Amino acid sequence: MLFMVDFGFRVQAKDKKTKARVGEIMTPHGIIQTPAFVPVGTQGAVKSLTPEEIRECGTQLFFVNTYHTYLRPGLDVIKKFGGLHQFMGWDGPIITDSGGFQVFSLGRRGKGAEVADENLDPSSVSGSRFHGLDTKKKMKPDKILSAPRAIASLVKISDEGAEFRSHWDGTKHFFTPEKAMEYQWVLGSDIHIAFDDCTPYGLTHEKARISMDRTHRWAARSLSANAKIKMQNAKLGKPYQALYGSVQGSIYEDLRKESAKFISTLDFDGIAIGGVSVGETKKEMVDVLDWVVPLLPVEKPRHLLGVGEIDDIFALVARGMDTFDCVQPTRLARVGCVYINAASRKWEMDITKKACAEDIRPIEEGCECYACQHFSRAYIHHLFRVKELLAYRLATIHNIHFINSLMEDIRRAIEDGSLLDLTKQWL
């Protein structure tokens, strides 16, 4: 369903003791109450769930990866349907990334992977981690990407763009800021993100600056390309699609502040903060937010890319973030790890453990999700033990509903001035 709005944001309430705020993001496909959690549908779907089930879990905004949908099913297929909304059967707001994170992270993963960056040399990287991955540790492909196999890929990064090989079949592709904008307009998402250079964790200050400066040049090119495409689509009567700029700068205070100031001067509809889920510690992530958020325009929405563990949620909300996406709730669900509000402050329970085998209780007492309203821990434990597909669905339903319910509580707490009390209850 399309609404007669372009794009807008308004702050409705502020917490007096933190930077937390409650607001509304208006899009052509609906209003998003913030702060809000955004589940990730890498391939155009939250694994195992239908769009209706995602909505029933309280989801307002859906995150889809441009890189993956560009490769499969391909833009030509999605274009025939008129965009992602019609292709997926989801009539709510959608946010897409530029494809940059996937291009760079897939190129920097594991043994055998190579990156050819004209400004990057091995000595500039501390340790062996690229994008938070330990190249010495054996990891299952599903932990890295949703592909049947992981193949070595070569990414060549220059100021023009990024050349990469498909993780599906090894074919070569080339992303530029202009192409990233074109692709996202074809996808028809409500919110786009400018093409950025996703700086790997551990770069020296000098190399991090080179990466940040490239992101800034790409931001300007993204804006220019977006303006042209927006004008063309407006003449065709197509709905408005917003564009967020991306703040980078690794873990260096001066770079992060410089990036925040630069991106804030450009005519973006909102601001995304990237490079905080690529290997940094939680303290480093919080430091970045403390440096960046005070420099961002208060009238624009802010999105944090790739962060969303329980303790992270309270930290990012208190620092003024409006939306955030994370694969953690759904990824944990698929291995039998479900969320509970425990006095021990351990919010994850392994339902595959023997202790749940005869437990007649729901996953979480008082939870209103479909899984908790209809099934016991013992039953879901059984489903995981026999590898029944329903297990993954029920655990995913619960985890998404759990996080969305937490966000409802947080929004209420900000409005009535009790956010710190709620934080103490959880942390």
Helix (H) or strand (E) holding 163: strand 162-165
Confidence of residue 152 (pLDDT cuts 50, 70, 90): very low
* Residue 397 tokens, joined: 């339903």
| SS3 (DSSP) at 348 | strand
Strands 242-247 and 270-273: parallel
Domain boundary among 326, 346, 378: 326
Confidence of residue 344 (pLDDT cuts 50, 70, 90): low
Whether 317 and 408 share a structural domain: no
pLDDT tens-digit series, residues 349-361: 999 999 999 999 9
Whether 266 and 184 share a structural domain: yes
Residue 108 is classified by DSSP as: T
**φ and ψ at 127, to 5 degrees?**
75, -160
| CATH code, domain with 18 | 3.20.20.105
Rounded to whole angstroms, the Cα distance separating 30 from 24 reads 10
Question: In Å, how far are 165, 297, 318, 422 from 16, measured between CA atoms?
Answer: 49, 18, 11, 14
Residue 176 reports pLDDT greater than 80: yes
pLDDT value for 123: 38
pLDDT tens-digit series, residues 287-333: 999 999 999 999 999 999 999 999 999 999 999 999 999 999 999 99
Contact assessment for residue 424 and residue 80, using Cβ atoms and an 8 Å cutoff = no
Residue that is written with structure tokens 């709730």 in the block: 329
Q: Is residue 125 part of a domain?
A: no
Preceding peptide of 93 cis, ω within 30° = no
Confidence of residue 346 (pLDDT cuts 50, 70, 90): confident
Whether 181 and 45 share a structural domain: yes
CA 79 to mean position of chain CA atoms: 24
Whether 309 and 191 share a structural domain: yes
Contact assessment for residue 88 and residue 49, using Cβ atoms and an 8 Å cutoff = no
Strands 162-165 and 172-175: antiparallel
Q: Looking at 97, 117, 190, 213, which residue is catalytic?
A: 97
Region of 270 (left: φ > 0; alpha: ψ -120 to 50; beta: rest) is beta
Q: Is residue 150 part of a domain?
A: no
Whether 195 and 311 share a structural domain: yes
* Number of folded domains that form the chain: 2
Can you give the C-alpha Rg of the chain in angstroms? 21
Residue 128 reports pLDDT greater than 90: no
Q: List b or e across 386-400, with b for residues whose CB sees 16 or more CB atoms inside 10 angstroms.
A: eeeeebbbbbbbbbb
pLDDT value for 127: 36
pLDDT value for 278: 85
Q: Is residue 298 part of a domain?
A: yes
Residue 97 designated active-site = yes
User: At a CB cut-off of 8 Å and minimum separation 6, what does 190 contact?
Assistant: 7, 27, 28, 29, 93, 94, 95, 239, 241, 242
Whether 354 and 259 share a structural domain: no
Confidence of residue 185 (pLDDT cuts 50, 70, 90): very high
Whether 62 and 186 share a structural domain: yes
Q: Is residue 2 part of a domain?
A: no
Residue 117 reports pLDDT greater than 60: no
Instruction: Calculate the dihedral angle through the C-alpha atoms of 189, 194, 197, 201, rounding to the nearest 10 degrees.
Output: -70
Whether 361 and 383 share a structural domain: yes
Residue 35 reports pLDDT greater than 80: yes
Comparing 121-135, 233-247, 361-375, the range with the smallest average pLDDT is 121-135
Whether 35 and 80 share a structural domain: yes
Burial class of residue 183 in the structure, from the number of CB atoms within 10 Å of its CB (0-12 exposed, 13-18 middle, 19+ buried): buried
Burial class of residue 211 in the structure, from the number of CB atoms within 10 Å of its CB (0-12 exposed, 13-18 middle, 19+ buried): buried
Q: List b or e across 333-361, with b for residues whose CB sees 16 or more CB atoms inside 10 angstroms.
A: bbebbbbbbeeeeebebebbeeebeeeee
Rounded to whole angstroms, the Cα distance separating 352 from 279 reads 28
Please indicate, yes or no, whether the overall pTM of this predicted structure exceeds 0.85. yes
Give the mean pLDDT of 87-92: 97
**To the nearest whole number, what is the mean pLDDT of the chain?**
89
Rounded to whole angstroms, the Cα distance separating 309 from 403 reads 9
Whether 76 and 196 share a structural domain: yes
User: Is the C-alpha dihedral spanning 353, 358, 364, 369 positive or negative?
Assistant: positive
Q: Looking at 134, 312, 325, 409, which residue is catalytic?
A: 325
Whether 297 and 185 share a structural domain: yes
Q: Which domain holds residue 359?
A: 338-426
